[in-house]
């Protein structure tokens, strides 16, 4: 009888097949396929249960990864899904958008060998999808309703995770969001080829089934005063994200054909949700597109531009590939779809023609020098300036939180960077300087991973429950 501990010796790492490049670039459908049950079980069986699960430590929500891999190996899908939800309120979403190569899979013991890591992310995604298809829902039959009520401002990943955990504690959760649907950037920022919007709608169904109430199209500060929330609820969680895009102050950024990444991605997604044809601003057919920035948002812009018919897409980044902040998987997908990368190039200016339209980007080559903080710093190389021809330029330099004025007017302390200060002076984790206001996600961390926003929402709910149920 074969020892399953060494199954990785006979069964190589496999991921679900992706849609062929020549087909996937024609539309916005998710490109990753699904495991079938035997493949998921076999891949889960490659886990060696190493005793000190580095994958679990590297996961921001500290998923019980070896435990649910064993359940999948044994075909116990519904139990595996339930265990996933013990640590992660949004596992089907994290399975799609997490950079597993930098987190759990990157820390897998097998990744340090020639055998390759366990395909944790693909299994997580498949298990949750399959369990929901089979009718699995969170079991709240033993939850005791406490009569306490919490308002959540923002229906992004932090707010959704907070709502999930509050309902499990018997606390009513009302979620306010200015958008017409839940998800925040999960719905309106991340392109459908990474995260199909039906997945977010399914999560809404699950949360509403748990008793979460969504008040959409309600902008706090415009449609309802924040003070009213404090009057009506026992506590408030603020998960308003980071939507202020970094302006590198490049000369020429006002030229026709220059886009900032977030408005570009949101505008295109809203167009797709309405099933509208590409407007003039999104007609890239035959155009040379240059994307400035090497993070995951930059990769989203690369791949969206390809689908909008660009003649060429060039991604410019000031460091080398090894120092890119974006997921290696997303970089690989961009390459497969025809994106060219120019590393160690610092943009200096966007150049225009006589009609005020973009014609090129002026860049300078960089050398990487030791900055003394563990990351190499790009230094411009004298005499290396040159131009990259372009018809469209997309700036993807990152995002900053922009806390609303109503937070300040209620005495919530902010850090110098504009982020909301939490957990200071003996406060509970995620509690602000106002005793009944809690916060988490990108408005506290700055622009960060979805899974870290999920963690913040989960932990903030624990702190809220501790306070209101004391």
Q: DSSP labels for 299-365?
A: HHHHHHHHHTTBSEEEEEESS-GGG-SS-HHHHHHHHHTT-EEEESEEEEEEEE-TTSBEEEEEEEE
| DSSP 8-state class, residue 205 | H
pLDDT at site 4: 60
Question: Residue 283: its pLDDT value, please?
Answer: 87
Which residues in 141-243 belong to E strands, given as ranges? 149-153, 172-177, 213-216, 235-238
pLDDT score at 121: 95
Look at the block and give the residue holding tokens 């020639």: 114
* CA pair distance 449, 442, nearest whole angstrom: 8
Domains of the chain, with CATH numbers?
A: 4-133 (1.10.1060.10), 149-242+401-468 (3.50.50.60), 245-398 (3.50.50.60)
Strand order in the sheet with 392-395: 258-260, 392-395, 288-292, 312-317, 340-343
CA of 383: how far to CAs of 250, 346, 377, in Å?
19, 13, 19
Distance set, CA 296 to CA 293, 330, 331 (Å): 9, 7, 8
- Are the CB atoms for 347 and 360 separated by under 8 Å? no
* pTM of the complete model: 0.94
Q: Which whole-number Å values give the CA distances from 187 to 22, 175, 182, in the listed order?
A: 25, 16, 7
Spans of the chain, pLDDT less than 50: 1-2
For 293, other C-beta atoms within 10 Å of its C-beta total 26
């Amino acid at each position: 009888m074969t020892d399953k501990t060494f199954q990785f010796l006979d069964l190589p790492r496999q991921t679900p097949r992706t849609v062929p490049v020549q087909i996937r670039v024609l539309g916005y459908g998710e490109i990753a396929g699904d495991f079938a049950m035997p493949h998921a079980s076999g891949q889960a069986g490659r886990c060696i249960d190493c005793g000190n699960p580095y994958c679990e430590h590297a996961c921001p929500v500290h998923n019980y990864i070896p435990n649910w891999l064993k359940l999948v190996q044994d075909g116990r899908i519904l139990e595996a899904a339930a265990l996933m939800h013990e640590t992660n309120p949004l596992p089907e979403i994290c399975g799609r958008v997490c950079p597993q190569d930098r987190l759990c899979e990157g820390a897998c013991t097998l990744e340090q060998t020639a055998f390759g890591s366990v395909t944790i992310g693909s299994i997580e995604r498949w298990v949750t999808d399959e369990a929901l298809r089979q009718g699995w829902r969170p079991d709240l039959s033993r939850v005791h309703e406490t009569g306490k009520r919490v308002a959540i401002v923002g229906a992004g990943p932090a707010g959704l995770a907070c709502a999930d955990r509050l309902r499990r504690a018997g606390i009513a959760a009302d979620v306010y969001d200015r958008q017409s649907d839940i998800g925040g950037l999960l719905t309106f920022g991340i392109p459908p080829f990474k995260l199909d919007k039906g997945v977010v709608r399914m999560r809404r169904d699950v949360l509403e089934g748990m008793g979460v109430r969504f008040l959409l199209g309600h902008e706090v500060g415009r449609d309802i005063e924040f003070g009213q929330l404090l009057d009506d609820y026992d506590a408030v969680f603020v998960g308003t994200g980071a939507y202020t895009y970094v302006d590198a102050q490049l000369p020429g950024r006002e030229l026709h054909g220059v886009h900032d990444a977030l408005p570009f991605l949101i505008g295109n997604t809203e167009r797709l949700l309405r099933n509208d044809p590409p407007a003039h601003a999104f007609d890239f057919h035959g155009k040379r597109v240059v994307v400035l920035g090497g993070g995951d948002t930059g990769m989203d812009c690369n791949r969206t531009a390809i689908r909008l018919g660009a003649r060429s897409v060039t991604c410019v980044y000031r460091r080398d590939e090894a120092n890119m902040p974006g997921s290696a998987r997303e970089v690989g997908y961009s390459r497969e779809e025809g994106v060219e990368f120019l590393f160690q190039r610092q943009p200096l200016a966007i150049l225009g023609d006589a009609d005020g339209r973009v014609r090129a980007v002026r860049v300078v080559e960089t050398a990487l020098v030791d900055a003394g903080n563990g990351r190499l710093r790009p230094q411009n190389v004298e005499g290396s300036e040159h131009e990259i021809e372009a018809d469209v330029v997309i700036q993807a330099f990152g995002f900053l939180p922009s806390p609303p004025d109503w937070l300040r007017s209620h005495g919530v302390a902010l850090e110098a960077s504009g982020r909301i200060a939490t957990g200071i002076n003996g406060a509970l984790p995620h509690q602000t300087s106002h005793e009944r206001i809690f916060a988490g996600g990108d408005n506290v961390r700055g622009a960060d991973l979805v899974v870290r926003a999920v963690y913040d929402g989960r932990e903030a709910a624990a702190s809220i429950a501790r306070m209101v149920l004391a």
